[in-house]
Amino acid sequence: MSKIMRSPIDDQGCCYAPDRTALDQQRPQNGGQDAQQGTASFARGQPCACAVVLRSERSGVPDHGRAGDREDHCVAHTLGVSGRWTNVGAVRFEALRWALQVRHGRRSAGGGAGLFGTSFGAQPLDADGARTRYTPRAWPQLHGSGYRATHTKKNYLKPWRRVMWCIGLLTQEYRRRMYNVLRLYAKPLRATEPVICIDEKSLQLVEHSRAPLPMDRGSPAKVDYEYVRKGTSNLFVAVEPKAGRRVVSVTERRCKVDFVAFVQELLTNNYANARRIHLVLDNLNTHFRKSFEDVLGKTAADKLLRRVDFHYTPKHASWLNMAEVEISVLSRQCLDRRMGSREFLRDEVDAWQQARNAQRRTIEWKFTRQDADEKLGRHYVS
Chain Cα centroid distance, residue 356: 25
Give CA–CA dist 250/239, Å, rounded.
Answer: 15
Running DSSP on this structure, what letter comes out for residue 189?
P
- Identify the pLDDT of residue 13: 46
- Identify the pLDDT of residue 72: 55
- Identify the pLDDT of residue 160: 86
- Identify the pLDDT of residue 170: 92
- Identify the pLDDT of residue 209: 93
Helix, strand, or coil (residue 9): helix
Alpha helices in the chain (DSSP H): 20-26, 32-38, 72-79, 88-103, 139-143, 172-185, 256-265, 289-296, 298-304, 323-333, 342-358, 369-376
Tell me the residue type at 260. V
Tell me the residue type at 190. R
User: Contact 309/278 with Cβ under 8 angstroms?
Assistant: yes
Each residue's pLDDT expressed in tens, for the chain with a length of 382 residues: 444 444 444 444 444 444 444 444 555 454 444 444 444 443 444 444 444 444 444 444 444 444 444 555 565 555 555 545 445 555 555 555 555 554 444 444 444 444 454 444 444 444 444 445 555 555 555 555 454 555 666 667 788 888 877 777 899 999 999 999 999 999 999 999 999 999 999 999 999 999 999 999 999 999 999 999 999 999 999 999 999 999 999 999 999 999 999 999 999 999 999 999 999 999 999 999 999 999 999 999 999 999 999 999 999 998 999 999 999 999 999 999 999 999 999 999 999 999 999 999 999 999 999 999 999 999 898 7
User: Contact 280/198 with Cβ under 8 angstroms?
Assistant: yes
Give CA–CA dist 202/327, Å, rounded.
Answer: 11
User: Contact 236/242 with Cβ under 8 angstroms?
Assistant: no
Between β-strands 195-208 and 2-4, what pairing exists: parallel, antiparallel or unpaired? unpaired
> What pairs with residue 198 in β-bridges?
238
- Identify the pLDDT of residue 20: 46
